[in-house]
Structure 1
Amino acid sequence: MSASPTTEAATLPGQGMLGVLGGGQLGRMFVHAAQTHGYRVMVLEPDAASPAGAAADAHLRAPYAEPAALSELAAACVAITTEFENVPAEALRMLAARRRVSPPADAVQVCQHRAREKAAFAAAGVPCAPHAVIDSAETAASAALAPLLPGILKTASLGYDGKGQATVMTLADLPAAWQALGGVPCVLEQRLPLRLEISVIVARGADGAVVHLPVQQNLHRGGILAVTQVPAPDVPPALAEQAIALAGRLAQALDYVGVLCVEFFVLQDGRLVANEMAPRPHNSGHYSIDACDVSQFDLQLRALAGLPLVAPRLHSAAVMLNLLGDLWFPQDAADAAPVTPDWAAVLSLPGAHLHLYGKAEARRGRKMGHLTFTAADAGTARANALRAAAVLGLQAF
């Protein structure tokens, strides 16, 4: 279903305050984009030391669903967004009764649950892996699940960055794997022969206009994004166009307003299958801050404020490295105190753009920042990123 053109007036740069539910690094980068355009920003986040709260003009320290805090946010802000998908959808509905809210609560609720997400893919004609929902011990023991094995068992909600999932090889393994994940509703996905992983970030306005960033080629390690390369080196133009079209079709079917990321698997036979979607900017799109004339956070801002969406232009080839807290800890000393990485050596390399998220404590597996290398050509960007990886002790790619 397509959106009808909005009759609500745009909130022009410099006019009014915008709201964000969530205080993480995605919120922080949205705050920076909004402030660059002259907006003030209020963040609703219970953590007093959050990255977005530290950057915002105002920080409401309260739970996301607290009625008094939501009322205060709606009174102060002309439009409100979210920086992560696990914000209560009902909170977005309460805010939408008074203010422009993007993305819409219904779409966020779809993205909070893998079974609903798979159903949305099917409804939009977007192919995804064969799968089944497991919500009981009886289902987990069903012989009918045999065609899906070997497979990946994933919790239906609250799983991210490789958490809440397990590989299952045989029917005999399935009941124990389901219990190990807490006996909660899960989705069992058939394990497919993968060639590579890509993602597409689209932005859709209330008037139905859709623009997109270039297709991103991603490398994950331990279920967490490690490297993003743009242009995608191993993706033929026709396949990139297909992925962009499918992501746009999904945004249209959801009547979506805002930034939407769709992650795809490219199979060994060249087919595309959707893995998951995120109703927000995405880790794989952070390079756009330095390599595009319009970043994913600029697109989030434009969709929220009702401003025109323009197609981003990739002006530089880019390679982005995700920086986890592990970098602060010597590999041969598990209990050692954290040590600041050699940023001076990294920043001596051409085209280096370092983004640290302002998190007070480095912890293993915690996203602390990202490092983007830009260059006139992809080979140079990759070569400099590999030099940085060697300095930081990151695995080559």
Structure 2
Amino acid sequence: MTDPILPGATIGMLGGGQLGRMFALAAKAMGYRVAVLVPEHDSPTAQVADVAHEASYDDVDAVERFASDVSVVTYEFENVPSATVEAAERHAPVRPGKALLHAVQERSREKQALADLGLPVAPFAVIDSVEDLGAATDAVGFPSILKTAAWGYDGKGQRRVASVEELKAAFEELGSVRTVLEREVSFVAEASVIGARGLDGDVAVYEPFLNHHADHILDVTVVPAPLRATTIVQAEDAVRTILEG
């Protein structure tokens, strides 16, 4: 698909959280219609969407009905099942595609993808069992953060560890599932940059914004970010590298 999707068309959204709601409000202000598929009743996105499909992501028939009535499908969070995306793709293009979704659904894949692009990432090691703890400790050191490889957000599925004993206890506390041990990074602030790439390869990068958290959850975002010009350039260049990689 190379033709532009013009106002008046319907954009399909998988997921009904606050990000989806903000997306829907912006899209509607530009003249688009928005349809959402979400398992929860009365979700934030469904409250403002033109059409709401309340169904499980595993309900292939519902996903196909949803996708057959839209011009394009996107998603507002990364944990959409791959089978859901495949069902939607049979009726409408899905952007971003499956390859990117696969990478961001698992922390070790995501970090390795960034490292392969030459971008700096904190030293990390994958832990699948207690037998991996020693090698992970040697590779990463302490203090470090143990994170579940999947499904972690807003500080969930994370533990700070400063010794082998704490690491072993944290691994068991997190359910002995696949985890990523990541060297703790001392930082002054967290900044985010939004970028987009068109099917024609054109890239748009928007100005960075500064994030302040409370109890590991985003609390306040400041735009424009009060950052040095060199830091802004570095952040925007990193996003371009990802989008063009």
TM-score range, shorter chain: over 0.9
Q: Is the 8 A contact 1:129 1:192 kept in 2?
A: yes
Aligned to 2:16, what secondary structure does the other structure show?
coil
Q: Which stretches in structure 2 are left out of the alignment for 5+ residues? A: none
Partner of 2:238: 246
Matched, 1:68 2:61: yes
After superposing the two structures, state which structure 1 stretch, 213-222 or 162-171, moved more: 213-222
TM-score (norm 1): 0.59
The change in CA–CA distance for 1:146 and 1:130 in structure 2 (over 3 A counts) is closer
Amino acid at match of 2:241: R
Q: Deviations over 1:95-153 (max 9, x none)?
A: 22331211112111211110001111111111110010111011124475364211000
Q: Which stretches in structure 1 are left out of the alignment for 5+ residues? A: 1-6, 254-397
- Deviation at 1:69? 0.8
d(CA) in 2 for partners of 1:146, 1:251: 29
Q: How many residues align?
A: 245
- Deviation at 1:74? 2.0
- Deviation at 1:17? 2.0
d(CA) in 2 for partners of 1:49, 1:184: 32
Q: Deviations over 1:141-182 (max 9, x none)?
A: 447536421100000000001110000001222111100111
Partner of 1:113: 106
d(CA) in 2 for partners of 1:142, 1:149: 13
2:178 to 180, 185, 190: 185
d(CA) in 1 for partners of 2:223, 2:97: 29
Matched, 1:33 2:26: yes
Q: Deviations over 1:167-206 (max 9, x none)?
A: 0001222111100111110110111222222111111111
Alignment of 1:242-321 (within 5 A): 242-253=234-245
Matched, 1:8 2:20: no
Q: Is the 8 A contact 2:37 2:66 kept in 1?
A: yes
Matched, 1:21 2:50: no
d(CA) in 2 for partners of 1:146, 1:104: 33
The change in CA–CA distance for 1:44 and 1:219 in structure 2 (over 3 A counts) is same
Matched, 1:99 2:83: no
Q: Deviations over 1:356-380 (max 9, x none)?
A: xxxxxxxxxxxxxxxxxxxxxxxxx
Matched, 1:175 2:168: yes
Amino acid at match of 2:204: V
Partner of 1:78: 71
- Deviation at 1:91? 1.6
Amino acid at match of 1:205: G
d(CA) in 2 for partners of 1:143, 1:206: 40
Amino acid at match of 1:113: E
TM-score (norm 2): 0.94
Aligned to 2:194, what secondary structure does the other structure show?
strand
Aligned to 1:194, what secondary structure does the other structure show?
coil
Q: Is the 8 A contact 1:17 1:78 kept in 2?
A: yes
Aligned to 1:94, what secondary structure does the other structure show?
helix
The change in CA–CA distance for 1:240 and 1:102 in structure 2 (over 3 A counts) is same
Identity %: 42
